[in-house]
Structure 1
Amino acid sequence: MKATFVALAVAVTSASARTFTVYNNCPFTIWPALFTDLNVAPNVPNQPGGWVQGQYQAVSFYVPDNWQAGRIWARRNCDFSSNPGPNSCLDGGCNGGLVCDPHTGTGVPPATVAEFTLQGAGFQDWYDVSLVDGYNLPMSITNNKGCHLANCGVDLGPNCPEPLKGPFDASGFPVGCKTACKAGLAPDPRNDPYCCTGSHDTAATCPPSGVLYYDYFKGNCPNSYAYAYDESSGTALWTCDSNLAADYTVTFCP
């Protein structure tokens, strides 16, 4: 089906910014969300922190060339008419309701997250599809400069291991899959081999072999970031030369 494009007015000019497009290829409405970690840098897109987006609709906006620590994800089954906040959506909800709070609105797991740092170390754009917070929708990150695809194109809900499965929609269908970290499967959250905390807080002491259900996420979505130190896989974190000034598209249900 042909996409419907919605152009959003922004103050950032195209001469000093990139074009980001969020495309909803899912056959249902989603509520995309955007968050910038202001503790890292103050450079923010002139774009709301959340909006409603119908099926097969595309939303484009400008993002600063040096956007740092940015996150884009989608929320499912939202109703903001009462109790607007993190529990207003079945998954991925955030503080603030429809528009996520700019300081605390990072999103409630499980949620598939697109992560970006533009003009990062080595003057590279760094980006990934993260499953560290679990999964709620298939996602891909593409660009117009031929840099590597980052994606999780598989619906991880139906075959999700039982201890991780959920939440569920009204029909009983699983619309999320938590990681062992977010499911709280370790006895001590302060010393958690699945969350890489305590004595497991380095790549050497938190190998993927010690992360419960790592293979389920990485095996199905090899081009994704599957746990806190997944860079060692070589297929988790991707780069694109910042001199190329790539534009990026985040697609849900690619």
Structure 2
Amino acid sequence: MGASIKAQRSESTLRSLITLNHLLHKEERLFSQSQHGTLAVVVASLLTTASTQSSRTFTVTNHCPFTIWPALLTDLQAGTAVPSQPTGWEQASGATVTFAVPYNWAAGRIWGRTECNFTVNPGPTSCATGGCNGGLLCDPGTGGGVPPATLAEFTLGINGLPDYYDVSLVDGSNLPMTITSDKGCPTASCPVDLNPACPSVLAYKDSSGVVVGCESACLANLDGNPNNSPNCCSGSYNTPQTCPASGVTYYSYFKNQCPDTYSYPFDESSGTALWTCAASLSSDYTIVFCP
């Protein structure tokens, strides 16, 4: 029901830069560390040979007491395999949506949008949180959600590599979320609504002044220079050694309440950020909003 007050500021360029930096960090680590990374991961290996694996089934359930507008995005530079589901849809409280996902889906993400109205100038400001280029249907090439937005991230494994998945709070959060596997693999989860107690400097408000999201310290630009920031792991802080979790402002706010999430760009060292499931299991996954 209107754009966020903060979205009216001239911060769209900053937000795009922060999101790009986050993705670049992930891709670099996934190519350099076979046991870690996030989800643009091992993309080169995933795409090298064919596989006889069938598609997977993904289920999205909305347990929030209000309508949300889920969206999905595939990094088309990582792979062209895309889910059968449209890139955005309306989902009422209590509703469940099920769709097929290719066995080799790479660098994919799913998130929830809130307080959307697509009747006028559909685009990134059509929702209080998570809006995208394109309106209801996010643009396949440029339709990443405007943060803060809780993300479910996936790269499904082939050629002996596992599935990688996580719930990411790197760019902040807007809705509680869990990812579960039907094969008993670990649950990635942020079951807590982080908005009510969100530190005031991170609070992201809608047009009526209600806190609808909680920004990361990087997204909120607390240190004033996202190009060289310990909060963003950018510039001279762009390695795990120079960007420890202890140097990220408010890291503990997110990680203590949601330990099984990706809470800053180099969070693999926590051991509870990035999750794997043997691709041979052909796991189906369920994403629940407001579990």
Same fold (TM over 0.5): yes
Q: Displacement of 1:194 after TM fit?
A: 0.6
Which residue of structure 2 aligns with residue 119 of structure 1?
157
Matched letter for residue 262 of structure 2: Y
Which residue of structure 1 aligns with residue 235 of structure 2?
198
- Aligned pair 1:243/2:275, yes or no? no
Out of 33, 36, 60, the position equivalent to 1:22 is 60
Compute the TM-score of the two structures, normalised by the length of structure 2.
0.80
Question: In the aligned structure 2, how far is the partner of 1:45 from the partner of 1:188?
Answer: 37
Relative distance call for 1:214 and 1:106 in structure 2 (3 A) is: same
Compute the TM-score of the two structures, normalised by the length of structure 1.
0.92
Listed as ranges, the matches of 1:44-83 within 5 Å are 44-83=82-121
Out of 245, 250, 255, the position equivalent to 1:213 is 250
Q: Deviations over 1:143-163 (max 9, x none)?
A: 100000100011100101110
Q: Deviations over 1:208-246 (max 9, x none)?
A: 000000000000000010010100000000000000000
Q: Displacement of 1:187 after TM fit?
A: 2.4
- State, as a whole percentage, how many aligned pairs show the same letter: 61
Matched letter for residue 137 of structure 1: L
Relative distance call for 1:122 and 1:196 in structure 2 (3 A) is: farther
Runs of 4+ more than 3 Å apart: none
Which residue of structure 2 aligns with residue 12 of structure 1?
none
Which residue of structure 1 aligns with residue 214 of structure 2?
177
Which runs of 5 or more residues in structure 1 are unaligned?
1-14
Q: Deviations over 1:183-206 (max 9, x none)?
A: 111222210111111001111111
Question: What SS does the aligned partner of 2:227 have?
Answer: helix
Which runs of 5 or more residues in structure 2 are unaligned?
1-52
Question: What SS does the aligned partner of 1:90 have?
Answer: coil
Matched letter for residue 64 of structure 2: C
- Aligned pair 1:140/2:178, yes or no? yes
Out of 187, 197, 202, the position equivalent to 1:164 is 202
Instruction: Indicate conservation of the 8 Å contact 1:68/1:120, yes or no.
Output: no
The alignment covers a number of residue pairs equal to 239
Instruction: Indicate conservation of the 8 Å contact 1:126/1:240, yes or no.
Output: yes
Pick which of 57-66 and 182-191 moved more. Answer: 182-191
Question: In the aligned structure 2, how far is the partner of 1:121 from the partner of 1:176?
Answer: 39
Listed as ranges, the matches of 1:78-89 within 5 Å are 78-89=116-127
Q: Displacement of 1:169 after TM fit?
A: 6.0
